[in-house]
Amino acid sequence: MSTETPLPLPPNPEAPAPRACVVLLGGRQFAVDVADAREVVMLDTTTPVPGAPAELLGVMNLRGSVLPVVEARPLLGLPVRATTDRALVLADGARRAAVLIEAVLGLTTLDAMRPSEPRPDTLTLGELESDSGGRATLLDGRAVLAALRRAWDPIVAGGSR
């Protein structure tokens, strides 16, 4: 048994930089870490859930799994715009939801952006500004999911509001 302390590994210069998906939501740009975003889906059929809160628009079938479809704009203090047919699937472990979005604007590396001071709310992690002057609010995908789930968990579990 060796008592030598192992040398730390040098940083991997080829390790990918953290990335974020930039979307349009309520007319504003938001970025979500790709670790929290699973995919963008086109909404086909959404089945309403009786007695559900307003932010739970219904559920959809995503490759055999039932997935809640939610409206997050009011939660973020944004106006609800025209109906959209796109959603960003957020996930935190087994928790998943399809959050309505207006458009996908692309992917960016978080290293290429400079975070500002965090905001006082708990759903965002600050503003990001690129070298080219573009700005996006960095959403905490897990916190958004948790806030939405608090509203509908009693309904999904068969309880009442």
CA dist., res. 97 & res. 91, Å (int): 7
Check: CB of residue 46 under 8 Å from CB of residue 97. Answer: no
- Residue 52 inside a domain? The answer is yes
User: Please, are residues 58 and 69 in contact by the beta-carbon 8 Å criterion?
Assistant: yes
For residue range 55-88, what is the model confidence (pLDDT) as tens digits?
889 999 999 999 999 998 888 888 887 678 999 9
Cα separation of 32 and 145, whole Å?
12
According to DSSP, the residues that pair with 22 across neighbouring strands are: 31, 106
pLDDT, tens digit, 9 for 90 and up, residues 88-125: 999 998 889 999 999 999 888 876 556 566 556 678 88
pTM of the model: 0.78
Contact 67, 97 (CB under 8 A): yes
Let me know if residue 110 belongs to a domain.
Answer: yes
Domain span including residue 130: 19-156
Domain count, the chain: 1
CATH classification of the domain holding 149? 2.40.50.180
Position 139 pLDDT exceeds 70: yes
Residue 5 placed within a domain = no
On whether residue 94 sits in a domain, the answer given is yes
Inside any domain, residue 53: yes
CB 80 within 8 A of CB 71: yes
Provide Rg for the chain, Cα atoms. Answer: 19
- Quickly count: other Cβ atoms within 10 Å of residue 109's Cβ: 12
